[in-house]
Amino acid sequence: DSTSAPNFIRNQVREEVEAGKVDTIVTRFPPEPNGFLHIGHAKSICLNFGLAEQFGGDCHLRFDDTNPSKEEQAYIDAIKEDVSWLGYQWAGGVRFASDYFDQLYEWAQYLVREGKAYVDDLSPDEIREYRGTLTEAGRPSPYRDRSPEENLDLLERMRAGEFAEGEKVLRAKIDMASPNINMRDPILYRIRHARHHQTGDKWKIYPSYDFTHGQSDAIEGVTHSICTLEFEDHRPLYEWFLDNLPVPCKPRQIEFARLNLNYTLTSKRKLKLLVDEGIVDGWDDPRMPTISGMRRRGYTPASIRKFCEMIGVTRADGGLVDIAMLYHAIRADLEDNAPRAMCVLKPLKVVLTNVPEDHDEVFEVPGHPARDDMGTRKLPFTREIWIDRDDFMEEPPKKFFRLAPGKEVRLRNAYVIRCDDVIKNDAGEVTELRCSVDFDTLGKNPEGRKVKGVIHWVSVAQGVPVEVRLYDNLFQVESPDKDKDTDFLEHLSAESLITLQGIAEPSLAGVKPESRFQFERVGYFCADRHACREDHLVFNRTVGLKDTWAK
């Protein structure tokens, strides 16, 4: 496939499988339930679930839920829904790192008994200071040489809730002079008197991400623990835990470059700010790069999977992927699979003066030009029709092939009409056109002249009103968050949402939420999941018709 890019992890796994080095691969997708998933997570989902699918293995869905104060059940539910919607099934039930808290605690005691972990009374600030910097070695904590007995007792009392938050931590005893700061006695447990969404009030201490992640992988028999490049420096620690604990197996960590998309934020924390500040209509606002936002916008699961295939998987970081590639992926899918319809976004009334009031002609036209399986739709042709204001100009430039005074244009799927009269109100605005139909032009050119333009139209008597939401990029600059932390709020586009009241052909009456269409000559649209009702149709623009992606 010319549009699929290299994927070094897939190549590596294929070699291992072919060489018989691995029997059944096990991967996992490990979100922290502190926000909704975004397009960056889709890359990781497609990679992890895709490998399991391709090589007949398993992929687990595991919530990395070690930070109870930022996590919520609502996020867990949304994440499950997004992964399923993308078309993936996790092996076994949903898993939680918190399922392993008892085991992790036993392993912490094990390290203490082995003299490889200690309870430290330094404050968080002191720990940071003692840890040193890239150019300066760390210093040992004065509590580093406590006896295993004392440490076991203190750890147990930390767990029982005897100490205040920040008063003590459990640290691994590794190497305060290591050039890798992650190895300078990393924190294993912190005191947090917080209620956990899975374990309730059972725990007063919570394991750190580093102490949790690799061991959870090992408990689950994960073979390939795939993560983004910022964890490369954590790999020695990941391996240190596996080497120093009686774990059932040794997963391997492999890093890849995260996805960065231009005009887009891919950070849950920043997306959450947009939600909390009311800048967008929730996590699934159709402008959000969240999976649920893209779903509401009209993306298909296939298009997101296709996009992830197109961007490939490498270790080279830094590049910004062009969002035009994402638009290309959805446009290609909808071009082939979305039925056609006509919808006028900015209605201008046209009276066809030589069509009688009681004219009841109906054109039956294809649902899709290349898909007989989509059947046909009926277009009633009446004396009064709507056309789009943008398809008429009173004083047109030379190359304007749509409607103008005295000029002809073809109504899509119907006749050629000529504009005879322009009606205006007192303010001089055009309110109506009077046109005449050439009835000898159905499916053929008019006698002796060429009519180049084709415009869409809808019957006034039978068209249905629709609210149309035109969405565009939320940000007007390519890298909205490249500078300071909250600067991205200054780069919001004022035109990311324009709402219009349009009129659609009657075949759209009663469409189901999430139905997708190409509005001919206009773009691809999707009936809004939440707002679209039978008596109030609401369509979101997914993407325009013009492809700007250059390979």
Q: Is 32 a catalytic residue?
A: yes
Q: Is 377 a catalytic residue?
A: no
Give 267 or 353: the residue with its C-beta nearer to ligand ATP. Answer: 267
Per CB under 6 A, which of residues 356..375 are in contact with ligand ATP? Answer: none
Among positions 13, 25, 26, 44, the unique one binding ligand ATP when judged by CB under 6 A: 44
* Smallest distance, ligand ATP to C-beta of residue 32, A: 4
The one-letter amino acid at 106: E
Among positions 14, 16, 32, 396, the unique one binding ligand ATP when judged by CB under 6 A: 32
Give 261 or 416: the residue with its C-beta nearer to ligand ATP. Answer: 261
30 binds ligand ATP (CB under 6 A): yes
Count of residues engaged in binding ligand ATP, rule: CB under 6 A: 15
305 binds ligand ATP (CB under 6 A): no
Give 126 or 230: the residue with its C-beta nearer to ligand ATP. Answer: 230
User: Which amino acids are annotated as binding site for ATP, given as ranges?
Assistant: 32-34, 38-44, 228, 258-259
* Smallest distance, ligand ATP to C-beta of residue 126, A: 27
289 binds ligand ATP (CB under 6 A): no
Element containing residue 424 per DSSP (H, E): strand 416-424
Q: Is 272 a catalytic residue?
A: no
- Residues whose CB is less than 8 angstroms from the CB of residue 429 and which lie 6 or more positions away in sequence, other chains included: none
Q: What is the DSSP string of 91-141?
A: SSS-EEGGGGHHHHHHHHHHHHHTT-EEEE---HHHHHHHH--SSS-----
Taking CB under 6 A as the binding criterion, the range among 16-24, 39-47, 363-371, 408-416 that sits at the site for ligand ATP is 39-47
Give 30 or 339: the residue with its C-beta nearer to ligand ATP. Answer: 30
Report the candidate in 409, 419, 392, 399 with the shortest Cα–Cα distance to residue 451. 409
Element containing residue 157 per DSSP (H, E): helix 148-159
Per CB under 6 A, which of residues 168..227 are in contact with ligand ATP? Answer: 227
> What three-state secondary structure class fits 251?
coil
40 binds ligand ATP (CB under 6 A): yes
Task: Check 16, 32, 81, 335 and give the catalytic one.
Answer: 32
Task: Check 159, 184, 268, 469 and give the catalytic one.
Answer: 268
Among positions 182, 262, 266, 314, the unique one binding ligand ATP when judged by CB under 6 A: 266
Strands (DSSP E) contained in 282-383 are: 340-341, 343-344, 347-352, 361-366, 376-381
Among positions 62, 184, 213, 268, the unique one binding ligand ATP when judged by CB under 6 A: 268
314 binds ligand ATP (CB under 6 A): no
Element containing residue 302 per DSSP (H, E): helix 301-311
Instruction: Note whether 423 and 390 are within 8 A (CB).
Output: no
Q: What is the DSSP string of 162-179?
A: -S-TTS-EEEE---TT-S
Instruction: Return d(Cα 317, Cα 300) in angstroms, integer.
Output: 27
Strands (DSSP E) contained in 211-315 are: 224-228, 252-256
Q: Which residues are catalytic?
A: 32, 258, 268
In the complex, which residues of this chain contact ligand ATP (CB under 6 A)? 30-32, 40-41, 43-44, 227-228, 258-259, 266-269
